[in-house]
Amino acid sequence: MNTIAEHIADFLKEYPPFDNLTFQELSDIATNIRVINLEKHAVLFQINDLLHDSFYVVASGVINLTTIADAEETIINKCHEGDIFGLRPFFAKNNYMMTAKAREESIIYAIPIAVFRPFVANNSDVLNFLLENFAINSRHAKDNVNSNGKLISDTAFYVDQQSEMQYIQSLAYNNSPLTTESNSIIKDVAILMTESMVDNIVICEKNNPIGIVTNADLSSKIATGRYPITETIDKIMSSPVVTVIENVSLAEAQLLMLKNNVTHLCVTKDGTSKSAVKGIISEHDLIVAQASNPGVLIKEIKRSQLPKDLKQIRDRLSDLIQNSIQKNIPISHISNIASEINLAIIKRAVELSILDLGSPPARFAWLSIGSQGRKEQLLLTDQDSILIFEDVAPEKYREVKDYFLRLAKRTTSILEKVGYEYCPNGHMGSNMLWCKSLTDWTKQYNSWMNTPGENSNDLSSIFFDYEIVFGEPKIEEVIENVIFKNAVNNTLFFDFLGNDALKRNSPLSFFKKFIVEEEGPHKTKFDIKTRALMPLIDAARLLILNANIKGIKNTYLRFKQLAITDSKNAEIYLSCAEAFLTLSKFRTVEGLKNDDSGQYINLREMSKTDKEKLKNALTPMKDLEELIKSKFQLTQFS
């Protein structure tokens, strides 16, 4: 047996999170591991099965994780050698949400959760790995295939991003818990709990928690006669208490309760039992918190009937973003979630308008353009949209366009009530210029791209960042094809876009000082949108159009893709991708702090390290500028 265990330990130590454990710890785990041989197509667990007492690692072969949506089986992920799956029993009490089936003959290691739990408890790296990966967005299964040692949580996540949210989400809990001292009499404490209508009390010594008593303790220890009601409370308390810091997330709280097999967590000032009690989290609080994860928010959006319902959900999204940033969740994660929820809100606004106006007279597509089109809208910024309807007979055109203008006006008005301000430049589907037929839009893009100088005043590059929110996907495809067809060898257009991308003012002076606003309401502040983010956004768009890469609208992902396509400049692109995330985070933090779009950063309120971080994020811009100048032979800028 020993040699088998050693062989298993050798295998595991190559993969995270096992590479964080000592060989001795791995050997202890390995002696408890069951080896399972699965024939091709054999099922390890399926949807709705009761949870197993183990989670699984693929030793060899491939396991498909599938879920059923609309009666169709969809492969969510393929797990290869070293991948972890079936983590659900770690995090949840309900049944499996997926099916795990062998795609070929496979060998699986079953690791008993009871054996592994202590290692999670004692090793924060392992805990973080499990938690972060529980938050992985596995919806895009193809991105994840073969990335060694990734961990695929089998939650119903690809459907509603639940687990990602649970990692981000904060909890509401009782901030004024009942406390008492260890020499209090059980009877008095029980009366106090009944009068206060709570099911728990924290026992403290000098305000620090030393134990907890819950209704369960009263029924199992007093009602059964094991202890007389005249004893002191310390005789029946559970001790020590499991303590957490104040802004613990839903998933972390869940994990701690499961790991320690408790129903309550004690919130203290510094997260240890050596500091003052600040609150108590119960299992009930976790259930309540589940109700505001994105999956639930999106369901609520779909049911909303009034702008005020949508506004309330949008406000909850702002809280979610704020909490996520405090917890240092990667900004790309947060953007994914925010854009899904923003998208659902805009879609619902269009649906409510159609419910009011009756069915549309022709097929159409509502596209978000600009930041929401790039999935970068974290704050409540203004709305940018266009409406494209299919070609209709000339005699019908007026009446059809009238309907869609009314639809767009109604939709933009709902969105304004939700908190998305009208676009000051009028880039909205409710503007006659931006609500027209597919042929008219095709002409519009042809003219912008083939004679860019002549009508450049109305060419806003945000029209090249778009995402369909509602309607006929083929319409979006047609527009995309028009754009990419026109882009091929179009020197004039790239010359125009290139100069446009370079015309923004430099963020730093010759002496590496921030260039700030000199007058107006934002005097002495740094315009992070115009001077730092826009040059990156414009450059990424220019380069991706030039490289003829379709379907990628997000700035961060555009740079990541460019690093693959144009590998000799990969270093510049990757540092621009990172810079974009850093700058977005600064802007979001500023916007949340001042309840605005975060465009102007108050440098005076910034710490020295943050200023350095901000300055470092601006350094790749010089290289990017040189790259664009040489690639597009732009000479008029020096």
Structure tokens at 239: 């001790």
Say how far residue 132 (Cα) sits from the centre of its chain: 12
The CATH fold assigned to 179-287 is CBS-domain (3.10.580)
Q: Is the peptide bond before 473 cis (omega within 30 degrees of 0)?
A: no
Question: What integer pLDDT is reported at residue 152 of this predicted model?
Answer: 38
pTM of the model: 0.60
Question: What integer pLDDT is reported at residue 167 of this predicted model?
Answer: 54
DSSP calls for 424-462: TT--STTSGGGEEEHHHHHHHHHHHHHSTTTTGGG--GG
Question: What integer pLDDT is reported at residue 293 of this predicted model?
Answer: 65
Report the alpha-carbon distance of residue 255 to residue 239 in Å, rounded.
19
CATH homologous superfamily for the domain 294-485: Beta Polymerase, domain 2 (3.30.460.10)
Q: Which residue stretches of 135-214 are H helix?
A: 141-144, 157-160, 162-168, 186-196
More confident position, 94 or 180:
180
Question: What integer pLDDT is reported at residue 296 of this predicted model?
Answer: 73
Which band of pLDDT confidence, cut at 50, 70 and 90, is reported for residue 307? Answer: very high
Question: What integer pLDDT is reported at residue 592 of this predicted model?
Answer: 87
Residues 6 or more apart whose CB falls under 8 angstroms from that of 51 comprise: 88, 89, 92, 93, 95, 96
Nearest CA-CA partner of 452 in 490, 502, 505: 490
The CATH fold assigned to 2-116+130-157 is Jelly Rolls (2.60.120)
Mean pLDDT of 543-566: 92
% residues pLDDT > 90 (the chain): 48
Indicate the Cα dihedral angle 593, 265, 158, 297, nearest 10°. -50
Report the alpha-carbon distance of residue 165 to residue 529 in Å, rounded.
28
pLDDT tens profile 325-362 = 876 777 887 888 888 899 999 999 999 999 999 999 99
Maximum mean pLDDT: which of 392-406, 479-493, 591-605, 624-638: 392-406
